[in-house]
A = this chain, B = another copy of it.
Amino acid sequence: MSKILVFGHQNPDTDAIGAAIAFANLQNQLGKDCEAVALGTPNEETQFALDTFGLTAPRVIDSVAKETQEVMLVDHNEFQQSAADIADVTVLAVVDHHRIANFETANPLYYRAEPVGCTSTIVLKLYKENQVEIPKAIAGIMLSAIISDTLLFKSPTCTDEDVTAAKELAVIADVELEVYGLDMLKAGTNLGTKSAAELLDLDAKSFPMGAKNIRIGQVNTVDLKEVFDRQAELEAAMKDSMAANGYDLFLLVATDILDSNSELLVVGEPTAPVEAAFKTTLTNNRAFLPGVVSRKKQIVPQLTEVFEG
Protein backbone atom coordinates (compact mmCIF):
# COMPACT_ATOMS: atom_id res chain seq x y z
CA MET A 1 0.00 0.00 0.00
CA SER A 2 1.23 3.51 -0.70
CA LYS A 3 2.36 5.75 2.09
CA ILE A 4 -0.06 8.25 3.56
CA LEU A 5 1.24 11.72 2.71
CA VAL A 6 1.12 14.36 5.46
CA PHE A 7 1.52 18.01 4.52
CA GLY A 8 0.77 21.64 5.29
CA HIS A 9 -0.38 24.44 3.00
CA GLN A 10 1.18 25.85 -0.15
CA ASN A 11 3.98 28.37 0.41
CA PRO A 12 4.77 26.48 3.58
CA ASP A 13 5.79 28.36 6.71
CA THR A 14 7.54 26.83 9.69
CA ASP A 15 4.30 25.44 11.15
CA ALA A 16 3.19 23.91 7.84
CA ILE A 17 6.49 22.03 7.63
CA GLY A 18 7.08 21.48 11.34
CA ALA A 19 3.59 20.18 12.11
CA ALA A 20 3.78 17.85 9.09
CA ILE A 21 7.07 16.37 10.32
CA ALA A 22 5.78 16.06 13.88
CA PHE A 23 2.34 14.65 13.03
CA ALA A 24 3.75 12.16 10.51
CA ASN A 25 6.20 10.92 13.14
CA LEU A 26 3.38 10.55 15.67
CA GLN A 27 1.23 8.61 13.21
CA ASN A 28 4.16 6.34 12.37
CA GLN A 29 4.71 5.66 16.07
CA LEU A 30 1.01 4.74 16.22
CA GLY A 31 1.45 2.20 13.44
CA LYS A 32 0.56 4.10 10.27
CA ASP A 33 2.88 4.40 7.28
CA CYS A 34 3.22 8.15 6.73
CA GLU A 35 5.63 10.47 5.00
CA ALA A 36 5.84 14.20 5.74
CA VAL A 37 6.03 16.15 2.48
CA ALA A 38 5.65 19.84 1.62
CA LEU A 39 3.89 21.90 -1.04
CA GLY A 40 6.99 24.06 -1.48
CA THR A 41 10.57 24.56 -0.35
CA PRO A 42 11.24 25.88 3.17
CA ASN A 43 11.64 29.64 3.57
CA GLU A 44 14.83 30.94 5.19
CA GLU A 45 13.31 30.98 8.66
CA THR A 46 12.19 27.36 8.34
CA GLN A 47 15.52 26.33 6.85
CA PHE A 48 17.27 27.94 9.83
CA ALA A 49 15.08 25.88 12.16
CA LEU A 50 15.62 22.64 10.21
CA ASP A 51 19.38 23.23 10.18
CA THR A 52 19.49 24.03 13.90
CA PHE A 53 17.85 20.73 14.77
CA GLY A 54 19.54 18.61 12.11
CA LEU A 55 16.38 17.85 10.15
CA THR A 56 16.08 17.39 6.39
CA ALA A 57 13.51 19.44 4.49
CA PRO A 58 10.52 17.31 3.41
CA ARG A 59 10.29 16.23 -0.21
CA VAL A 60 8.42 18.84 -2.30
CA ILE A 61 5.29 17.80 -4.17
CA ASP A 62 2.47 19.68 -5.87
CA SER A 63 -0.05 16.91 -6.49
CA VAL A 64 -0.77 13.71 -4.62
CA ALA A 65 -3.15 11.39 -6.46
CA LYS A 66 -0.44 9.94 -8.68
CA GLU A 67 1.30 8.43 -5.65
CA THR A 68 -1.31 7.89 -2.94
CA GLN A 69 -5.04 7.77 -2.27
CA GLU A 70 -4.80 8.87 1.37
CA VAL A 71 -3.53 12.08 2.92
CA MET A 72 -3.49 13.94 6.22
CA LEU A 73 -3.50 17.73 6.31
CA VAL A 74 -1.88 19.96 8.89
CA ASP A 75 -2.10 23.73 9.33
CA HIS A 76 -4.74 24.19 6.62
CA ASN A 77 -8.00 22.79 5.32
CA GLU A 78 -9.13 25.06 2.47
CA PHE A 79 -8.70 23.13 -0.75
CA GLN A 80 -7.31 26.09 -2.69
CA GLN A 81 -4.41 26.22 -0.21
CA SER A 82 -3.74 22.50 -0.55
CA ALA A 83 -2.39 20.06 -3.14
CA ALA A 84 -3.65 20.76 -6.63
CA ASP A 85 -5.63 17.50 -6.78
CA ILE A 86 -6.69 17.31 -3.14
CA ALA A 87 -10.31 16.68 -4.15
CA ASP A 88 -9.26 13.41 -5.80
CA VAL A 89 -7.90 11.72 -2.68
CA THR A 90 -9.25 10.76 0.74
CA VAL A 91 -8.45 13.11 3.60
CA LEU A 92 -8.05 10.81 6.62
CA ALA A 93 -7.18 13.47 9.16
CA VAL A 94 -6.80 17.22 9.62
CA VAL A 95 -4.99 18.99 12.44
CA ASP A 96 -5.39 22.73 12.11
CA HIS A 97 -5.96 26.06 13.84
CA HIS A 98 -7.64 28.02 11.04
CA ARG A 99 -11.21 28.75 10.10
CA ILE A 100 -12.90 25.97 8.12
CA ALA A 101 -13.94 26.82 4.57
CA ASN A 102 -13.96 25.24 1.13
CA PHE A 103 -13.38 21.85 2.72
CA GLU A 104 -15.47 18.75 2.36
CA THR A 105 -15.20 15.00 2.51
CA ALA A 106 -17.39 12.10 1.43
CA ASN A 107 -16.62 10.13 4.59
CA PRO A 108 -16.21 10.71 8.31
CA LEU A 109 -12.63 11.61 9.25
CA TYR A 110 -10.45 12.65 12.15
CA TYR A 111 -10.56 16.45 12.44
CA ARG A 112 -8.86 18.25 15.26
CA ALA A 113 -8.96 22.02 15.22
CA GLU A 114 -8.49 24.31 18.18
CA PRO A 115 -8.41 28.11 18.23
CA VAL A 116 -4.79 28.27 19.40
CA GLY A 117 -1.84 30.09 17.86
CA CYS A 118 -0.12 27.16 16.20
CA THR A 119 -0.90 23.71 14.83
CA SER A 120 2.18 22.33 16.57
CA THR A 121 0.63 23.24 19.94
CA ILE A 122 -2.23 20.86 19.10
CA VAL A 123 0.20 18.21 17.82
CA LEU A 124 1.98 18.36 21.19
CA LYS A 125 -1.36 17.53 22.86
CA LEU A 126 -1.81 14.58 20.54
CA TYR A 127 1.62 13.23 21.49
CA LYS A 128 0.60 13.46 25.14
CA GLU A 129 -2.87 11.96 24.64
CA ASN A 130 -1.25 9.03 22.87
CA GLN A 131 1.65 8.87 25.34
CA VAL A 132 4.27 8.99 22.59
CA GLU A 133 7.68 10.47 23.39
CA ILE A 134 8.84 13.47 21.35
CA PRO A 135 12.35 13.21 19.87
CA LYS A 136 14.60 16.21 20.53
CA ALA A 137 14.78 17.35 16.89
CA ILE A 138 11.02 17.14 16.48
CA ALA A 139 10.50 19.12 19.68
CA GLY A 140 12.84 21.70 18.13
CA ILE A 141 10.88 22.08 14.90
CA MET A 142 7.57 22.18 16.81
CA LEU A 143 8.98 24.89 19.07
CA SER A 144 10.15 26.80 15.98
CA ALA A 145 6.64 26.57 14.54
CA ILE A 146 5.11 28.08 17.68
CA ILE A 147 7.67 30.90 17.74
CA SER A 148 7.01 31.56 14.06
CA ASP A 149 3.19 31.54 14.22
CA THR A 150 3.01 33.64 17.40
CA LEU A 151 5.91 35.95 16.53
CA LEU A 152 7.54 34.91 19.78
CA PHE A 153 4.20 35.21 21.67
CA LYS A 154 3.47 38.76 20.44
CA SER A 155 0.63 37.86 18.07
CA PRO A 156 -2.97 38.19 19.30
CA THR A 157 -3.45 34.62 18.11
CA CYS A 158 -1.09 33.43 20.84
CA THR A 159 -2.82 31.64 23.72
CA ASP A 160 -1.59 30.50 27.12
CA GLU A 161 -1.50 27.00 25.70
CA ASP A 162 0.99 28.07 23.02
CA VAL A 163 3.29 29.66 25.59
CA THR A 164 3.14 26.60 27.86
CA ALA A 165 3.73 24.27 24.92
CA ALA A 166 6.72 26.31 23.71
CA LYS A 167 8.33 26.31 27.15
CA GLU A 168 7.88 22.58 27.45
CA LEU A 169 9.28 21.95 23.96
CA ALA A 170 12.27 24.27 24.57
CA VAL A 171 13.30 22.02 27.45
CA ILE A 172 13.14 18.89 25.29
CA ALA A 173 14.87 20.67 22.40
CA ASP A 174 17.47 22.04 24.81
CA VAL A 175 17.51 25.66 23.57
CA GLU A 176 17.18 29.06 25.25
CA LEU A 177 13.68 30.02 24.09
CA GLU A 178 13.96 33.82 23.73
CA VAL A 179 17.48 33.80 22.26
CA TYR A 180 16.78 31.03 19.76
CA GLY A 181 13.39 32.55 18.93
CA LEU A 182 14.71 35.95 17.93
CA ASP A 183 17.57 34.41 15.95
CA MET A 184 15.10 32.27 14.05
CA LEU A 185 12.66 35.10 13.31
CA LYS A 186 15.52 37.32 12.09
CA ALA A 187 16.69 34.57 9.76
CA GLY A 188 13.33 34.96 8.01
CA THR A 189 13.61 38.70 7.46
CA ASN A 190 16.46 38.59 4.97
CA LEU A 191 14.35 40.13 2.21
CA GLY A 192 17.04 42.03 0.28
CA THR A 193 18.22 39.00 -1.65
CA LYS A 194 14.74 38.17 -2.98
CA SER A 195 12.96 39.34 -6.10
CA ALA A 196 9.62 41.10 -5.69
CA ALA A 197 7.82 37.99 -6.98
CA GLU A 198 9.64 35.85 -4.42
CA LEU A 199 8.69 38.23 -1.60
CA LEU A 200 5.02 38.09 -2.58
CA ASP A 201 5.07 34.33 -2.66
CA LEU A 202 6.97 33.77 0.61
CA ASP A 203 3.83 33.37 2.69
CA ALA A 204 0.82 34.02 0.48
CA LYS A 205 -2.62 32.44 0.58
CA SER A 206 -5.73 32.77 -1.57
CA PHE A 207 -9.17 33.39 -0.10
CA PRO A 208 -12.42 33.35 -2.06
CA MET A 209 -14.59 36.01 -0.40
CA GLY A 210 -18.05 36.61 -1.82
CA ALA A 211 -17.55 36.91 -5.56
CA LYS A 212 -13.93 38.05 -5.18
CA ASN A 213 -10.71 36.06 -5.26
CA ILE A 214 -8.32 37.67 -2.82
CA ARG A 215 -4.62 36.98 -2.44
CA ILE A 216 -2.97 37.94 0.83
CA GLY A 217 0.80 37.79 1.20
CA GLN A 218 2.71 38.51 4.37
CA VAL A 219 6.40 39.29 4.92
CA ASN A 220 8.17 39.72 8.24
CA THR A 221 10.78 42.43 8.54
CA VAL A 222 12.76 44.38 11.09
CA ASP A 223 12.62 47.45 8.79
CA LEU A 224 9.36 48.41 7.03
CA LYS A 225 11.20 51.11 5.07
CA GLU A 226 13.37 48.47 3.42
CA VAL A 227 10.19 46.80 2.09
CA PHE A 228 8.50 49.97 0.84
CA ASP A 229 11.63 51.28 -0.86
CA ARG A 230 10.68 48.59 -3.37
CA GLN A 231 6.98 49.58 -3.62
CA ALA A 232 6.93 50.19 -7.40
CA GLU A 233 8.65 46.88 -8.08
CA LEU A 234 6.27 45.08 -5.68
CA GLU A 235 3.16 46.61 -7.26
CA ALA A 236 4.30 45.57 -10.72
CA ALA A 237 4.85 42.01 -9.51
CA MET A 238 1.45 41.99 -7.75
CA LYS A 239 -0.23 43.05 -11.01
CA ASP A 240 1.60 40.33 -12.91
CA SER A 241 0.49 37.74 -10.38
CA MET A 242 -3.12 38.96 -10.49
CA ALA A 243 -3.19 38.73 -14.27
CA ALA A 244 -1.63 35.27 -14.26
CA ASN A 245 -3.81 33.82 -11.48
CA GLY A 246 -7.10 35.70 -11.75
CA TYR A 247 -6.95 37.44 -8.38
CA ASP A 248 -9.24 40.47 -7.99
CA LEU A 249 -7.27 41.95 -5.13
CA PHE A 250 -3.74 41.46 -3.87
CA LEU A 251 -2.85 42.56 -0.35
CA LEU A 252 0.70 42.50 0.91
CA VAL A 253 1.01 42.71 4.69
CA ALA A 254 4.51 43.78 5.74
CA THR A 255 4.91 43.07 9.45
CA ASP A 256 7.50 44.65 11.70
CA ILE A 257 8.32 41.79 14.08
CA LEU A 258 10.13 44.05 16.57
CA ASP A 259 7.45 46.73 16.94
CA SER A 260 4.43 44.47 16.16
CA ASN A 261 2.83 46.71 13.53
CA SER A 262 2.06 46.14 9.87
CA GLU A 263 1.87 48.21 6.73
CA LEU A 264 -0.55 47.18 4.00
CA LEU A 265 0.03 47.46 0.26
CA VAL A 266 -3.07 46.97 -1.89
CA VAL A 267 -3.37 46.43 -5.64
CA GLY A 268 -6.60 45.65 -7.54
CA GLU A 269 -10.25 46.44 -7.00
CA PRO A 270 -12.40 47.11 -5.06
CA THR A 271 -10.34 48.96 -2.44
CA ALA A 272 -13.26 50.68 -0.66
CA PRO A 273 -14.20 47.48 1.26
CA VAL A 274 -10.54 47.08 2.27
CA GLU A 275 -10.55 50.59 3.69
CA ALA A 276 -13.83 49.82 5.47
CA ALA A 277 -12.51 46.55 6.87
CA PHE A 278 -9.55 48.24 8.53
CA LYS A 279 -11.22 51.60 9.18
CA THR A 280 -8.44 53.34 7.32
CA THR A 281 -7.76 55.28 4.13
CA LEU A 282 -5.29 54.06 1.57
CA THR A 283 -2.68 56.66 0.61
CA ASN A 284 -0.44 55.77 -2.29
CA ASN A 285 -2.06 52.25 -2.05
CA ARG A 286 -0.73 51.91 1.50
CA ALA A 287 -2.11 51.96 5.04
CA PHE A 288 -0.32 51.61 8.37
CA LEU A 289 -2.09 49.12 10.66
CA PRO A 290 -0.88 49.65 14.21
CA GLY A 291 -0.80 46.52 16.35
CA VAL A 292 -1.74 44.26 13.44
CA VAL A 293 0.50 41.19 13.06
CA SER A 294 -1.90 38.31 12.46
CA ARG A 295 -3.35 37.64 9.03
CA LYS A 296 -5.63 35.00 10.49
CA LYS A 297 -7.08 37.08 13.30
CA GLN A 298 -6.64 40.70 12.22
CA ILE A 299 -6.91 40.58 8.42
CA VAL A 300 -8.96 37.65 7.08
CA PRO A 301 -12.07 37.89 9.35
CA GLN A 302 -12.30 41.67 8.83
CA LEU A 303 -12.12 41.27 5.06
CA THR A 304 -14.53 38.33 5.10
CA GLU A 305 -17.01 40.44 7.05
CA VAL A 306 -17.06 43.26 4.50
CA PHE A 307 -16.93 41.06 1.41
CA GLU A 308 -19.46 38.45 2.59
CA GLY A 309 -21.28 40.20 5.45
Contacts and interface: CB of A to CB of B under 8 A. Distances in A.
A114 interface: yes
Interface residues of A, number: 27
Interface centre among A100, A105, A111, A114 (most CB of B within 10 A): A100
Interface string A82-113: 00000000000000011111111111111111
Interface in A216-251: none
Contact of A110 (B104, B106, B113): B113
Contact of A111 (B102, B113, B296, B300): B113
A94 to B, nearest CB: 8
A115 interface: yes
A176 interface: no
Contacts of A102: 104
A305 interface: yes
Interface string A104-128: 1111111111110000000000000
A213 interface: no
A111 B129 CA distance: 17
Contact of A304 (B106, B296, B301): B106
A104 B108 contact: no
Contacts of A305: 106
Given A101-B105, A107-B301, A112-B113, 12 more contacts: A97-B108, A99-B107, A99-B108, A100-B105, A103-B104, A106-B301, A108-B113, A109-B113, A110-B114, A111-B111, A111-B112, A112-B112
30 contacts: A97-B108, A99-B105, A99-B106, A99-B107, A100-B100, A100-B103, A100-B104, A100-B109, A100-B111, A103-B103, A103-B104, A106-B300, A106-B301, A106-B304, A106-B305, A106-B308, A107-B115, A107-B297, A108-B114, A108-B115, A108-B297, A109-B113, A110-B113, A110-B114, A111-B111, A111-B113, A111-B114, A112-B112, A112-B113, A129-B129
Interface of A: 97-115, 129, 296-297, 300-301, 304-305, 308
